[in-house]
Amino acid sequence: MIPVTGFESRHVAVLGLGRSGMTTARALQVGGAVPVCWDDNPEARARAEAEGFEIRDLMAPGGFGEIVSLIVSPGIPHLYPDPNKVVAAAWAAGVPVDNDIGLFFRSFGSGDWDYFDSPPRVVAVTGSNGKSTTSALIHHVLDAAGKKAQLAGNIGRGVLDIEPPEDGDVIVLELSSYQTDLARALTPDIAVFTNLTPDHLDRHGGKGGYFAAKRRLFAEGGPDRAVIGVDENEGRYLANQLSQGPGDDRVIRVSAAAKLTGPGWNVFARKGYLSEYRKGRQAGSIDLRAITGLPGAHNHQNACAAYAACRSLGLAPRVIEAAFQSFAGLPHRSQTIAEQGGIRFVNDSKATNVDSAEKALQAFSNIRWICGGLQKEGGLGPLQDALGSVKKAYVIGREAAGFALQLDGCEAEVCTTMAQAVAQAIKDAEPGDTVLLAPAAASFDQYDNFEQRGDDFAACVMAALGL
């Protein structure tokens, strides 16, 4: 655990007592602070009280008495669409509001570092799509190269729950916009921006607010090196803002859509090949086409970002390539779960919106597409250009019939349940086909989360195949 420093013997309020909040309370206590906890859920309060933490209704008269800071869990809104009432009360009381990410960065260093040959470093990854895969891939490469690394943040362990770093360690953090938006300290050594597509717009007051939350990772502390995906205008703008000139190699531009030229440091993927260029000369290349854990252009973008981060950490191209070959991918993200009779079964349950589903459809050919669920705003229109590789759609969900009607020009069968969709897709499939779960919708009409939906798909496939 990372002890939170700077609050010794002082009272710090923790709002929200899920995994993040409870870890924060413990880390504050280990660092010598006095945590004061609150959650609207009585069961969550009871669990915290059972651990010996003080429980206090912060909205009661005098609730913020002695409180020097309020630490807010990521799921609690602090500005849009409306600030949580406790956050607003903290503003009125003049109490600074922060989150566990801010506490991590202000507490990460220690006096022991004076005796290290190589101070620990932090790689922080943000963006709309691909940040989990990019973070996991960086961690995998470091591990395969024999480097001690820990994976935390929005993936793996909570940031304050990791082991105190040792000489030469690397901490890889996946950070969501909810986490970067509020943190009062953001000082990674290497910061990675994958891409930007509209998401969480209510929480950030629109696309501009959403991008501003991501941009804080680069603007607040100034990383030593920034890896920036430049396939959207926001990435191009960010790279330009951070660069001091055309040859400034503190900014590594990354693309899966275009060849990048110029005197700077560039990493791009074209036709399945990753290329690294520095000062106009090629410095490395990897054939990504046969790497099963990284299928499709969207994963090639993730590979470019991870490659650039690992090169910044001093790893050689051939070391990175060897580690890419053994990367199995993340569960529920373009994950191959079985192959039988020339038919491939891929679980991309994380494709909960149209943009991510489109990327999944572009990654494969001859697709038997399992889709549907709780549809998000905007409709399915943007998917039309990606339906050429779909042989047939098998639609699940409570509103499967309405979902199917939007798939113009694509043969669709209303199946409703996962078991029925998998059974029919297998019945229709031929050698060379891919049975792909990429729902383009949320899971909450039938499942608790996208992980449960992906697990159900895998279980249905395994049962049908007798595996």
> Annotated binding residue at 131?
yes
Whether 352 has a binding-site annotation, put simply, is no
Q: 10-residue block means of pLDDT along the chain (467 residues)?
A: 95 96 97 97 96 97 96 93 96 97 90 83 94 96 97 91 93 95 95 89 90 94 94 97 92 96 93 94 94 90 97 97 93 92 96 89 95 86 90 96 92 96 98 97 93 97 95
pLDDT value of residue 467: 86
Does residue 330 belong to any structural domain of this protein? no
Q: Is 75 marked within a binding site? A: no
Split into its structural domains, the chain has a count of 3
State the sign of the Cα–Cα–Cα–Cα dihedral 357, 360, 365, 370: negative
Annotated binding residue 128:
yes
Strand segments, DSSP code E, in 39-136 are 54-55, 67-72, 97-98, 121-126
Q: Which of 107, 90, 99 is nearest to 8 (CA)?
A: 107
2 within domain boundaries: no
* Token pair belonging to 68: 């020097």
> For the domain that residue 267 is a member of, what is the CATH number?
3.40.1190.10
Query: Within this chain, do residues 283 and 139 fall inside the same structural domain, yes or no?
Result: yes
pLDDT given for residue 464 in this prediction = 96
- 129 annotated as a binding-site residue: yes
Is position 126 within any domain?
A: yes
User: Are 315 and 450 part of one and the same domain?
Assistant: no
- 452's tokens: 């449960």
Residue 170 lies in a domain: yes
Residue 347 and residue 416 share a domain: yes
Domain boundary among 263, 294, 325: 325
**Domain presence at residue 61:** yes
Q: Please check whether residues 174 and 88 belong to one and the same domain.
A: no
**For the domain that residue 73 is a member of, what is the CATH number?**
3.40.50.720
Decide: 135 and 174 in contact? Cβ < 8 Å.
yes
Residues 6+ apart with CB under 8 A from 2: 27, 104, 107, 108, 159, 160, 161, 162, 164
pLDDT, position 382: 84
Residue 116 lies in a domain: yes
Q: What is the pLDDT of residue 111?
A: 67
Instruction: Give the residue from 325, 351, 378 where a domain finishes.
Output: 325
| Tokens found for residue 305 | 């970002």
Q: Helix or strand or coil: residue 356? A: helix
Record the pTM. Answer: 0.88
- Same domain for 136 and 64? no
Residue 3 makes CB contacts below 8 A (sequence gap 6+) with 27, 30, 31, 32, 107
Domain ends where: 76, 98, 120?
98
Considering the domain architecture, whether residues 150 and 24 belong to the same structural domain is answered as no
Domain range holding 51? 11-98
**Whether 318 and 368 share a structural domain:** no
Q: Tell me, yes or no, whether 175 and 241 share the same domain.
A: yes
Residues 71 and 50 in one domain: yes
Q: In what order do the strands lie in the sheet with 281-287?
A: 149-153, 170-174, 121-126, 190-193, 225-229, 251-255, 265-270, 273-278, 281-287
Q: Are 189 and 119 in contact (CB under 8 A)?
A: no
